[in-house]
Amino acid sequence: MVRQNEYIQYCNMLEKYFNHTLKSHESIKIGVTPNALQIGGAPGVDLYINQNIIKKCIEKHQLTKNIFMDMYAQLQDPIMIFKGNDGNFQDRRSIVIVTALKDQNDDMLICAIQLHRKKDQTKVNNIRSIYGKKNIHNYIRKQISQRNLIAYNIQKTDKSFQLIGL
């Protein structure tokens, strides 16, 4: 479910970023961490993306403004959620989500989210990267075999994912 006011505020902040009118020290607030991610272990605090992460995603991964606009809905309802690869999951320091979005190479986008970060004395979650994952099926198989799968959306899991045993 899209939270309309949050989405509008997020889009306005993105517009400022892309129009170069966002102050350099400002992070972009996406909104409260979505319920789907909270079910996957993320705390229910504000979710942000920093300008330097957007810049990296654009320059290194060739993501477009439209991808960032569409990412809001993907965060609300991801295909899969995995434990991050940052060590002990009991600390719940990160998660990785698989989205339905694709990059210019037709690779599915994944999004790494760092949990329990501090921003101005408040705990927040931060998007650390968004990029197209080559060989997504191999990645998913590996994550499942390592028991890193936290949750998946059965309605969004298409035939290609069913072929790998989901």
Rounded CA separation 77/39 (Å) = 11
pLDDT of residue 93: 83
Please check whether residue 35 lies inside any domain of the structure. Answer: yes
Looking at the DSSP bridge assignments, the partners of residue 117 are: 124
Total tally of structural domains belonging to the chain: 1
pLDDT of residue 68: 96
CA atoms within 13 A on the CB side of 52: 3
Please check whether residue 81 lies inside any domain of the structure. Answer: yes
Please check whether residue 159 lies inside any domain of the structure. Answer: no
Pairing of strands 80-83, 46-49: unpaired
pTM: 0.87
Which range marks the domain in which residue 37 is found?
A: 4-153
- Expressed in percent and rounded to 5, the helix, strand and coil fractions of the chain are 35, 30, 35
Secondary structure (3-state) at 60: helix
pLDDT of residue 8: 94
Q: What are φ and ψ of residue 59, in 5° steps?
A: -75, -45
pLDDT of residue 98: 93
Please check whether residue 29 lies inside any domain of the structure. Answer: yes
Please check whether residue 161 lies inside any domain of the structure. Answer: no
Please check whether residue 165 lies inside any domain of the structure. Answer: no
Please check whether residue 158 lies inside any domain of the structure. Answer: no
**Which portions of the chain are predicted below pLDDT 50?**
89-90, 160, 163-164, 166
